[in-house]
Amino acid sequence: MFRVLLLTLAVVVSQPARAQERQWLLDAAGEEVFLAFGVPNTDDVGISFWCKSGQQGISLFSPFQGREKRPKLTLLVGAESFPLDAKVNNNEGTKTVEARLRPEVKILNALNDAERFEVDLGKHKAVYPLADADFQGLIKLCATRLLPAEN
For residue 119, list its beta bridge partners. Answer: 75, 126
- Half-sphere exposure at residue 10, Cβ-oriented, CA atoms within 13 angstroms: 14
pLDDT band at residue 148, thresholds of 50, 70 and 90?
low
pLDDT for the residue numbered 105: 92
Tens digits of residue pLDDT in 5-18: 444 444 444 344 44
Amino acid occupying residue 95: K
In this predicted model, which residue has the larger pLDDT, 11 or 33?
33
Evaluate whether 2 touches 58 at the Cβ level (below 8 Å): no
Q: What is the pLDDT of residues 50-86, one digit of tens each?
A: 999 988 899 999 988 888 878 889 999 999 999 999 9
Q: What percent of the chain has pLDDT over 90?
A: 58
Distance CA 18, CA 125 (A): 20
Q: Which residue has the higher pLDDT, 8 or 149?
A: 149
pLDDT for residue 116 is more than 80: yes
Cα–Cα distance, 22 to 118 (Å, whole number): 16
Distance CA(103)–CA(20), nearest Å, equals 34
For Cα atoms 52, 104, 142, give the angle at the middle one, nearest 5 degrees: 25
